[in-house]
Amino acid sequence: MHSRILSVILFCICYQYSIAFAENPLPAKKVNDTIVKPVYIKINKISIEGNKITKPAIIYRELLFHENDSIDTTRFKSTLEQSRKNLLNTALFNFVTIDTLNVHEGKTDIKISVVERWYIWPMPFFQINDRNFNVWWQTKDFYRADYGVNLDWENFRGRKESLVMMIRCGFDQTFALSYKIPYINKNKTIGMGISGGYTGNHEVAYVTQEDKQLFYKDEDKYAQQNIFATFNITYRPSIYTFQIFQVNYNHFIFEDTLLKLNPSFSHNDHEQYFTFYYLFRIDHRDIAAYPLKGYYFDVELNKNGFGILKDENMYGSYMHTSIRKYWQIHNRWYFAGGVNAKLSNNAFQPYFIERGLGYGPNFVRSYEYYVVDGQDYALLKTNLKYELIKTGMKRLKFIPSKKFGLFYYAVYLGCFADAGYVDNVNKLETVNNCLPNTGLLGTGVNVDIVTYYDVVWSFQYSINKMCEHGLFLHFSAPI
């Protein structure tokens, strides 16, 4: 186990150094003994307009330049453009422009114009209770839905803080409150967050059979309940580097029927434990919601259980890493590739927390209807796409507010190929599952529609190695 983790860490380090060298090559040497001195542009004044709510300090934090800085003319345009993208990646603005003013004798003023998003969303809530939209579409069962009210207040107090209150009823129930503040120190590098709440589920997946989840349902009472709390400290020393240190508390209560149906579901009908979680992330993507150029790297460490609570039985840990690279290969052609890998220790993992492929964003396209349970996995995704409709902007005259009436759009046509493998060595009970411990292959074509508020509609027609094919819909970037 330790040798496998060490190998992955060494690979990730080498990968990062190779990227750093490629993007920051050694400085050029003298040519014919002639030294060409660089020419600089000095920034006099920076002005900001359009930020009716956002504090200027939040905007300055994302810039790669400051007043009285001198920037090499060869890097001046790219520095301004990357700063513009940094501001867009805060998810605080729909549009950002950075212009130069009063250019004279190597000096210039900078004007930053922003169109802020709508930050307060006290909206009715409706959500289906399945792993993804495509699974729900097979039954179209509206009984498997939650409804309620979400109060999502982004950019709270204009300081990029987030305040979320969640009241969900219907099939399941959730009552939760969370608060995040990105900066609590003068240098704006340290932040914190706290959350807590309760969930109750009438229906719970209790086993995987023939690579699909089977559910137990109790309409009169909750089959599973959870009381949870979270506290974290974040550290962002630079614009592109982020770390999080987090402690979670969970107290699960299960119906004993779940343990009778699957003895591997849990140790007993009550589980309470602490979890320590750590994330290190480097993000050099141009636009995080739908990247076309740049790269992304992260490492997650998760440790369940510390033996400090009464009757605590949850022990186990895992490491997960994600590496993604995006290229513009020619004009309107783009290519992206990503690798995800998870390594777990040899401790027994109860079914209710074990996650292989098929959960959340980690799945092989064309296997949306399946889950592949196991302790370790590797996933490769690739995508070639063509910018069918270039990014454009349109104004809806009947909507006076710029927050909604002014929007952008783009359409991409592409093809993809994915491969995955799940290692299921410690599972106590497998019920006719054929996908673990075997190669997973999927390929197909996709059409992606991208617009404002980070909305992505990805229509994918794919086929897997079992010659099963179909049309699938996703609401995020493919890679």
pLDDT digits (tens, 9 = 90+) for 186-239: 999 999 999 999 999 888 999 999 999 999 988 888 999 999 999 999 999 999
Higher per-residue pLDDT: 383 or 345: 383
- pLDDT tens profile 301-350: 999 988 888 878 888 899 999 999 999 999 999 999 999 999 998 777 89
Name the CA dihedral angle for 74, 80, 81, 86, rounded to a multiple of 10 degrees: 130
pLDDT digits (tens, 9 = 90+) for 116-150: 998 988 766 666 656 666 766 676 666 656 677 77
Residue 170: predicted pLDDT: 67
Q: What was the pLDDT predicted at 127?
A: 64
Lowest-confidence segment of 258-262, 284-288, 294-298, 342-346 by average pLDDT: 342-346
**Can you give the pLDDT at residue 10?**
45
How would you class 124 by CB atoms within 10 Å of its CB: exposed for 0-12, middle for 13-18, buried for 19 or more?
A: exposed
Q: What is the pLDDT of residue 198?
A: 96
The average pLDDT across 46-66 equals 96
- Please determine, for residue 85, whether its predicted confidence score (pLDDT) is greater than 90: yes
Query: How much is the mean pLDDT over the chain?
Result: 87
Q: What are the domain boundaries of the chain?
A: 2-115, 182-474
Contacts 24+ apart (CB under 8 A), 250-256: 250/226, 250/275, 251/226, 251/227, 252/224, 252/225, 252/226, 252/352, 253/224, 253/225, 253/226, 254/204, 254/223, 254/224, 254/352, 255/216, 255/218, 255/221, 255/222, 255/223, 255/224
Per-residue pLDDT tens digits for 142-159: 665 667 777 889 999 999
Residue 16 backbone dihedrals phi, psi, to 5 degrees: -65, -40
DSSP result, 332-369: TEEEEEEEEEEEE-SS---TTT---BSBTTB--TT-TT
Give me the mean pLDDT over the 351-365 stretch. 91
> Residue 18 has what pLDDT?
42
pLDDT at 318: 94
For residue 220, what pLDDT is reported?
84
pLDDT number for residue 141: 66
How would residue 429 be classed by pLDDT, with cut points 50, 70 and 90?
Answer: low
Percentages of the chain per state (helix, strand, coil), in multiples of 5: 15, 55, 35
Confidence band, pLDDT 50/70/90 cuts, at residue 11 = very low
pTM to 2 decimals?
A: 0.84
How far, in Å, CA of 479 to CA of 460, rounded?
13
Give me the pLDDT at residue 130, please. 62
Which CATH number is associated with domain 182-474?
A: 2.40.160.50
In the chain, the percentage of residues whose pLDDT exceeds 90 is: 67
Summarised one tens digit per residue, pLDDT across range 169-181 is: 766 788 999 999 9
Section 396-422 average pLDDT: 86
Per-residue model confidence (pLDDT) at position 267? 87
pLDDT at residue 134, rounded to an integer: 73
* Mean pLDDT value across residues 20-47: 65
% pLDDT > 70, the chain: 86
Picking from 297, 261, 254, 304, the residue whose alpha carbon sits closest to that of residue 279 is 297
**pLDDT tops 60 at residue 21:** no
> What is the CATH code for 2-115?
3.10.20.310
- The answer on pLDDT for 27 being more than 60 is no
Whether 476 has a pLDDT exceeding 50, the answer reads: yes
